[in-house]
Amino acid sequence: MKHFFTAAAVVLASSFAFAQEANPNAAQISFTQETIDYGKIKKDANGEREFVFKNTGKEPLIITNCVGSCGCTVPVWPKTPIAPGEKASIKVKYDTRRVGLFQKTVTVTSNAATPTKVLTIKGNVEDVPAAVTTPVNNAPAASKVSK
The dihedral region occupied by 9, where left means phi > 0, alpha psi between -120 and 50, and beta the remainder, is: alpha
Strand-pairing partners, residue 109, are: 65, 116
The pLDDT tens digits of the residues spanning 43-68 come to 999 999 999 999 999 999 999 999 99
N-term to C-term CA, the chain: 123
- Give the β-pairing of 63-68 and 87-94: unpaired
**Distances, alpha carbon 76 to alpha carbons 3, 29, 99, 128, in Å:** 57, 16, 23, 28
Residue 100: per-residue pLDDT = 95
Distance (Å, whole) CA 34 – CA 121: 9
Residue 25: per-residue pLDDT = 87
pLDDT along the chain (147 residues), means of 10: 52 47 87 97 95 97 95 94 97 94 96 96 90 68 61
Helices (H) and strands (E) in the chain, counts: 1, 8
Distance (Å, whole) CA 103 – CA 101: 7
Residue 145: per-residue pLDDT = 63
Q: Are 103 and 73 in contact (CB under 8 A)?
A: no
Distance (Å, whole) CA 65 – CA 63: 6
Report H helices in the chain. Answer: 2-17
Residue 19: per-residue pLDDT = 45
- Give the β-pairing of 116-126 and 29-31: unpaired
Residue 121: per-residue pLDDT = 97
Domains of the chain: 25-126 (2.60.40.10)
pTM: 0.73
